A and B are shown apart, each in its own frame.
Chain A
Amino acid sequence: EPEVTQTPSHQVTQMGQEVILRCVPISNHLYFYWYRQILGQKVEFLVSFYNNEISEKSEIFDDQFSVERPDGSNFTLKIRSTKLEDSAMYFCASSERGPLGIDTQYFGPGTRLTVL
């Protein structure tokens, strides 16, 4: 069964450093997402991406964040200057839009980001 994959599974970085989290969405999906989950809190939407541009983003997704689809398979989330509060699980998801315009989103296993 096709699945979303993410690398690395765990990333440790120093505050102020740049990190890139990588995802390979399901191959025939056209819509891509990043969510995050701070320990003990809800899964929160960050951004959605379609046709090589951001289609929706949350207030969390500020100028420190960027997303890119550098080739036909990868989807990345970059955090330019990490803060302690960026420590969280980051989940990538992908979907194909259904006939009612509804996206059933499938999630990857996550990257645990620890900012020291």
Chain B
Amino acid sequence: QKEVEQDPGPLSVPEGAIVSLNCTYSNSAFQYFMWYRQYSRKGPELLMYTYSSGNKEDGRFTAQVDKSSKYISLFIRDSQPSDSATYLCATIIQGAQKLVFGQGTRLTINP
């Protein structure tokens, strides 16, 4: 069983739409969850991180974690063409060093 699963897409939506990106994970020991954005041939850029179940909001971005179902989501409101990128979910066990990444979802926002 893969540790973190993420639909690779591609996902294409019109500008202004609400985007929902999702991951599932298998290990209950994962406690800390991150979303990274990666533009083509660039390094992952940290967008948001959260520790507990519930929602965390930052501008147009909302991260949601449901530990009971081992489900992670990222919502993007009022999506812009500049949001076009690959979005990677990642998780880590507290005290460990190794980030475990999902496959990444390639997102395109069409003007």
| A-B CB contacts (within 8 Å), total count | 63
Query: Are the CB atoms of A102 and B43 closer together than 8 Å?
Result: no
The smallest C-beta distance from A11 to any residue of chain B, in angstroms, reads 14
What is A's interface to B at a CB cutoff of 8 Å? 4, 6, 31, 33, 35, 41-45, 48, 50, 55-56, 58, 89, 91, 100-110, 112
Query: Are the CB atoms of A48 and B94 closer together than 8 Å?
Result: no
Chain A residues positioned under 8 Å from B46 (CB to CB):
104-107
Interface string of B68-111 (1 = CB under 8 A from A): 00000000000000000000101010111111111110000000
Q: Once the chains are docked, how many angstroms separate the CA of A43 from the CA of B34?
A: 14
Query: Are the CB atoms of B44 and A43 closer together than 8 Å?
Result: yes
Instruction: List 7 interface pairs A-B (beta carbons < 8 Å), by A numbering.
Output: A44-B101, A56-B96, A103-B92, A104-B34, A107-B45, A107-B46, A109-B43
Chain A residue at smallest Cβ distance from B96? A56
Given contacts A100-B51, A104-B49, contact A31 B97 (CB under 8 A): yes
Query: Are the CB atoms of A56 and B97 closer together than 8 Å?
Result: yes
Q: Once the chains are docked, how many angstroms separate the CA of A105 from the CA of B101?
A: 12
Chain B residues positioned under 8 Å from A55 (CB to CB):
97
What is B's interface to A at a CB cutoff of 8 Å? 31-32, 34, 36, 41-46, 49, 51, 88, 90, 92, 94-104
The smallest C-beta distance from B22 to any residue of chain A, in angstroms, reads 16
Chain B residues positioned under 8 Å from A102 (CB to CB):
31-32, 51, 92, 94
Query: Are the CB atoms of A112 and B43 closer together than 8 Å?
Result: no
The smallest C-beta distance from B101 to any residue of chain A, in angstroms, reads 4
Q: Once the chains are docked, how many angstroms separate the CA of A91 from the CA of B38?
A: 12
Q: Once the chains are docked, how many angstroms separate the CA of A91 from the CA of B34?
A: 17
Q: Once the chains are docked, how many angstroms separate the CA of A104 from the CA of B89?
A: 13
Q: Once the chains are docked, how many angstroms separate the CA of A102 from the CA of B43?
A: 21
Query: Are the CB atoms of A107 and B44 closer together than 8 Å?
Result: yes
Query: Are the CB atoms of B44 and A91 closer together than 8 Å?
Result: yes
Q: Once the chains are docked, how many angstroms separate the CA of A50 from the CA of B32?
A: 20
Q: Once the chains are docked, how many angstroms separate the CA of A61 from the CA of B34?
A: 24
Q: Once the chains are docked, how many angstroms separate the CA of A56 from the CA of B100?
A: 13
Chain A residues positioned under 8 Å from B90 (CB to CB):
43
